[in-house]
């Protein structure tokens, strides 16, 4: 449930806003003066702030500026005076929108919903899901570079991780040791294709139940390896 902070000194307006927002399924908290409003806006966890401009103590302009310095929470300014709007625009306070009193409650709710949806989209696009490969009990988190075997995390060196991931991403394809060496180690690397054999052995020790009978990375005699699915 989205939480909304209302900072408004006129209690009848605050209650009206609260009623309509609660009817729309929001959780609402009211502060009726500038100081407590600023404190709550800074310390609390809110999804949106509905902020009256003319407040005793610290006014809405100041609250908006101070909150914006540390948080991206959407802020809707509520103003009684038409000419405040020009001031809001001119100041570049970082408010997301404004509503002038008197407002229709349904319009207010619609604006609140629109800004919440926009903000959630922004957050959603910033946080991307990890890229994960899962094959029969093995989970490779490519983003976090972690490997889990039957739910238990195993430690892999960089090259072991790269090699395992490459094979798992190309299942059922046979790669020669030369191909794997070219793929995982760059040309300047010290070593030769025997390095591949050593790494395969180490990976098997971590992922295979019985390294003598590998279930994941198979040896194709005379050719190379493949990750079996
Ligand atoms: Ca006021």
Give me the sheet containing 3-7, strands edge to edge. Answer: 27-31, 3-7, 48-52, 75-79, 97-100
Q: Which residue has the higher pLDDT, 93 or 44?
A: 44
Percent of the chain predicted with pLDDT > 90: 63
Query: In this predicted model, what pLDDT tens digit does every residue of 1-38 receive, in sequence order?
Result: 899 999 999 999 999 999 999 999 999 999 999 999 99
- Cα-Cα end-to-end distance for the chain: 42
Tokens coding 38: 């600023």
Average pLDDT over residues 32-51: 95
**What CA–CA distance (Å, rounded) separates 49 from 36?**
13
Whole-number Å distance, alpha carbon 78 to ligand 1 midpoint, is 9
List the shell of residues around ion ligand 1, using CB closer than 5 Å.
Answer: 9, 52, 54
Q: Was domain 132-227 assigned CATH 2.60.98.20?
A: no
Residue 43 pLDDT class (50, 70, 90 cuts): very high
Q: What is the pLDDT of residue 229?
A: 87
> Are 51 and 27 a contacting pair, CB within 8 Å?
no
Whole-number Å distance, alpha carbon 79 to ligand 1 midpoint, is 8
Residue 190 pLDDT class (50, 70, 90 cuts): low
Contacts of 202 (CB under 8 A, 6+ apart): 157, 160
Query: In this predicted model, what pLDDT tens digit does every residue of 59-96 receive, in sequence order?
Result: 998 999 899 888 889 999 888 776 666 666 656 667 77
Tokens coding 114: 């629109």
Average pLDDT over residues 170-196: 85
Extents of the domains making up the chain? 3-124, 132-227
Q: Which residue has the higher pLDDT, 87 or 159?
A: 159
Q: Using CA atoms in the order 202, 204, 209, 213, what is the torsion angle rounded to 10 degrees?
A: -130
Q: What is the pLDDT of residue 173?
A: 94
Whole-number Å distance, alpha carbon 13 to ligand 1 midpoint, is 9
Q: What is the pLDDT of residue 131?
A: 86
Fold assignment, 3-124: Rossmann fold (3.40.50)
Q: What is the pLDDT of residue 87?
A: 67
Question: Mean of the per-residue pLDDT values for the chain?
Answer: 89
Q: Evaluate if residue 121 carries a pLDDT over 90.
A: no
Whole-number Å distance, alpha carbon 194 to ligand 1 midpoint, is 77
Q: Looking at the whole model, is its pTM more than 0.75?
A: no
Average pLDDT over residues 169-173: 93
Q: What is the 3-state secondary structure (H, E, C) of the chain?
A: CCEEEEECCCHHHHHHHHHHHHHCCCEEEEECCHHHHHHHHHHCCCCEEEEECCCCCCCHHHHHHHHHHHCCCCEEEEECCCCHHHHHHHHCCCCCEEEECCCCHHHHHHHHHHHHHHHHHHHHHHCCCCCEEEECCEEEECCCCEEEECCEEECCCHHHHHHHHHHHHCCCCCEEHHHHHHHHCCCCCCCCHHHHHHHHHHHHHHHCCCCCCCCCEEEECCCEEEECC
Whole-number Å distance, alpha carbon 101 to ligand 1 midpoint, is 10
Contacts of 21 (CB under 8 A, 6+ apart): 4, 6, 28, 108, 109, 112
Count how many residues are written for the chain. 229
**What CA–CA distance (Å, rounded) separates 114 from 127?**
20
């Amino acid at each position: 449930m989205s939480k909304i902070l209302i900072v408004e000194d006129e209690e009848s307006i605050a209650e009206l806003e609260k009623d309509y927002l609660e009817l729309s399924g929001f959780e609402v908290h009211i502060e009726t003066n500038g100081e407590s409003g600023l404190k709550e806006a800074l310390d609390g966890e809110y999804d949106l702030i509905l902020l009256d401009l003319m407040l005793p103590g610290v006014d809405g302009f100041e609250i908006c500026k101070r909150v914006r310095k540390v948080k991206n929470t959407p802020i809707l300014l509520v103003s009684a005076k038409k000419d405040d709007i020009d001031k809001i625009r001119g100041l570049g306070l970082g408010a997301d929108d404004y509503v002038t009193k008197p407002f229709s409650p349904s319009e207010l709710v619609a604006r609140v919903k629109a800004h919440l949806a926009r903000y959630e989209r922004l957050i959603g696009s910033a946080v991307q899901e990890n890229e994960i490969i899962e094959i029969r009990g093995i989970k490779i988190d490519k983003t976090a570079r972690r490997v889990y075997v039957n739910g238990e995390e195993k430690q892999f060196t960089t090259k072991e991780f790269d090699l395992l991931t490459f094979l798992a991403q190309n299942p059922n394809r046979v790669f020669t040791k030369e191909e794997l060496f070219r793929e995982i180690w760059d040309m300047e690397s010290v070593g030769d294709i025997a390095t591949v054999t050593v790494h395969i052995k180490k990976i098997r020790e971590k992922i295979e139940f019985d390294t003598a009978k590998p279930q994941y990375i198979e040896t194709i005699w005379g050719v190379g390896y493949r990750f079996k699915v």
